[in-house]
Amino acid sequence: MRQAIVYTETVIHSAPEQFAAEAPYQIAVVTFEDQTRLLVRISGQRVQIGDAVREVESSLTYPIFEVIS
Amino acid sequence: MRPVHVAGIGKTAFGALAGRSLKDLAIEAIAACLLDAGKSTSDVEAVYVGNFDAPSFTGQNHLAPFIAGAVGIHGVPATRFEAACASGGSALFHAMQAVASGTYENVLVCGVEKMTSQTTARVAQILAGAGDAELESSIGATFPAIFAMIARRHMHQYGTTREHLAAVAVKNHYNASLNPQAHLKKVITLEQALAGKPVAEPFTIYDCSLVSDGAAALWITSEPSAIRVAACAQASGPVSLADKADITTLEATKLAAAKAYKQAGIQASDIDIAEVHDCFTIAELIAMEDLGFIDKGGSGPWVASGATGINGVLPVNTSGGLKAKGHPIGATGVAQICDLILQMRGEAGARQVAKANTALAQNLGGSGATSVVTILQRS
């Protein structure tokens, strides 16, 4: 699975109606080795700028990453 | 291209205006504008309406002929401009082009939005439509979240602090307390701003602009008058945050500003007063840098020092800004011009600045996908 570095992040408390039940949740822009970036959902432990993260398998339509501990 | 002037302004109060419809607000602003310009509906050659999403907020589409007809303007072209939160600025930009090129002598610009009949969660959902629907809104990103991520990165790269962000909110709330037409006239302290309810970290509710109803209108004309549009430039950038090389700067604002300064033949240091797009506190800080008022990364300490207060070296958002005057999206870019002209005429009351000969407005759409920079000068 893909690995990347957290470029920026936020924890959303006030969510759009479609995601309101999931709040608070964290999203991040991550940078891959080839310098491309992607907006992803973070699962599990909260991450900070500079943290290494990896993609986790998911049946959802959007990418989900978690911190590499 | 020939000189273009703004010979009339009209604006409703901004706020949660229960019982006031979209049409009702547009009529009030346009009537005030025509009265101010000394013109009648028969003088209008085209109607340019700035509006973000009346279909989602109110169910009303085909807005421009709807509004034109409501005020009794018939037969002339009436067109709606949509550029997210820069919808009003974009309508102004295109009106300016049409008059400068000689297509029309007189164009009526109206910006309007009616937002408060929806729930907060529904508003967040509608606003998220101004981002990248496939890559951003689909994972639950909101606009506060997009700008919160910009703030986090600016803090990381330049040492900007929560206190610097809060200083923007404190200043703009104070300014709005002096503006009878502002949505919130409540002064806040730094401590209150920092302790607000979290929205998207590090933002509290005090870092975010308001959800408001309101309308504003401008009379754009080739006839010489007291206020000249010295420049109006629009530029584009990536819609998706992940596609920006450096999210601490908004390239579209830099491009529009460079073009506007060149058109007007002036520099950033010539600006006496500015209204900028403070949809979030970080947006006002970054605008200071992208517009060339302060070096990259230096905006936090500069704004916190009071430099942009009403009596500062460069008064910014003396109206209260989107933060406290309110942000009825489509009206915002048009209202910024109204507020600057009040200052330039010396009619800004308790918030009047000492010198307002050259004024700048910056209106942003999305997280920098559209930016419009306008420079006004006394003729």
Alpha-carbon distance of B36 to B94, in angstroms, equals: 22
C-alpha closest to that of B115 among B179, B56, B27, B200: B56
Please tell me which of the candidates B197, B199, B242 has its beta carbon nearest to residue A29. B242
Residue-level pLDDT at A5: 98
**Minimum distance, in Å, between the CA of residue A53 and any CA atom of chain B:** 16
| Structural domain spans, chain B | 4-119+212-221
Alpha-carbon distance of B41 to B74, in angstroms, equals: 9
The answer to whether the CB of B60 falls within 8 A of the CB of B80 is no
Predicted TM-score (pTM) above 0.95? yes
Mean pLDDT of A25-34: 98
Alpha-carbon distance of B371 to B365, in angstroms, equals: 6
**Minimum distance, in Å, between the CA of residue B221 and any CA atom of chain A:** 42
Q: Do A39 and B141 touch (CB under 8 A)?
A: yes
Residue in chain A lying closest to B140 (CA): A19
The answer to whether the CB of B370 falls within 8 A of the CB of B83 is yes
**Minimum distance, in Å, between the CA of residue B150 and any CA atom of chain A:** 7
User: Which CATH number among 2.40.50, 1.10.443, 1.10.101, 3.40.50 corresponds to the domain A3-67?
Assistant: 2.40.50
Confidence of residue A17 (pLDDT cuts 50, 70, 90): confident
Contacts of B202 in chain A (CB under 8 A): 10
How many angstroms separate the Cα of B320 from the Cα of each of B163, B180, B184, B324?
Answer: 18, 10, 9, 5
Say how many C-beta atoms besides its own lie within 10 A of residue B44's C-beta. 23
Alpha-carbon distance of B66 to A52, in angstroms, equals: 53
**Has residue A16 got a pLDDT over 90?**
no
Q: At what angle do helices B281-290 and B162-177 cross, to 10 degrees?
A: 100
| Structure token pair of residue B6 | 């703004």
Where b means 16+ CB within 10 Å and e means fewer, A32-67 reads eeeeebbbbbbeeeebebebebebeeeeeebbbbbb
- Token pair 């893909």 is found at A2
Q: DSSP letter string over B116-145?
A: TTS-HHHHHHHHHTTS-TTTTGGGT--HHH
Beta partners for residue B378, in sequence order: B227
Residue-level pLDDT at A42: 98
Local structure of residue B322 (DSSP, 8 states): I
Interface test with B, best of A27, A46, A60 (most B CBs within 10 A): A27
Fold of B4-119+212-221: Peroxisomal Thiolase; Chain A, domain 1 (3.40.47)
Alpha-carbon distance of B48 to B80, in angstroms, equals: 6
Q: What is the ipTM of this complex?
A: 0.98
Per-residue pLDDT of chain B (379 residues; tens, 9 = 90+): 899 999 999 999 999 999 999 999 999 999 999 999 999 999 999 999 999 999 999 999 999 999 999 999 999 999 999 999 999 999 999 999 999 999 999 999 999 999 999 998 899 889 988 988 888 989 999 999 999 999 999 999 999 999 999 999 999 999 999 999 999 999 999 999 999 999 999 999 999 999 999 999 999 999 999 999 999 999 999 999 999 999 999 999 999 999 999 999 999 999 999 999 999 999 999 999 999 999 999 999 999 999 999 999 999 999 999 999 999 999 999 999 999 999 999 999 999 999 999 999 999 999 999 999 999 999 8
Alpha-carbon distance of B235 to B102, in angstroms, equals: 22
Residue-level pLDDT at B119: 92
Q: Do B199 and A20 touch (CB under 8 A)?
A: no
| Structure token pair of residue B210 | 């308001």
Beta strands in chain B (DSSP E): 4-11, 46-50, 78-81, 106-114, 198-200, 203-204, 213-221, 227-236, 273-275, 358-365, 370-378
Q: Is B85 a catalytic residue?
A: yes
Q: How many CB pairs under 8 A join A and B?
A: 95
Mean pLDDT of A1-13: 97
Interface test with B, best of A2, A9, A10, A60 (most B CBs within 10 A): A10
- The residue type found at A29 is V
Q: Do B140 and A18 touch (CB under 8 A)?
A: yes
pLDDT 10s digits, B111-136: 999 999 999 889 988 998 898 888 89
Q: What are phi and psi of B337, to 5 degrees?
A: -70, -40
| Structure token pair of residue A56 | 């986790």
Q: Do B149 and A29 touch (CB under 8 A)?
A: yes
Alpha-carbon distance of B222 to B229, in angstroms, equals: 10
**Which residue among the candidates B33, B85, B208, B279 is catalytic per the annotation?**
B85
pLDDT 10s digits, B199-258: 999 999 999 999 999 999 999 999 999 999 999 999 999 999 999 999 999 999 999 999
Local structure of residue B77 (DSSP, 8 states): -
Residue in chain A lying closest to B200 (CA): A12
Residue-level pLDDT at B146: 97
How many angstroms separate the Cα of B166 from the Cα of each of B47, B281, B309, B323?
Answer: 39, 7, 14, 11
Alpha-carbon distance of B26 to B373, in angstroms, equals: 24
Contacts of B124 in chain A (CB under 8 A): 14-17
| Structure token pair of residue B246 | 């450096």
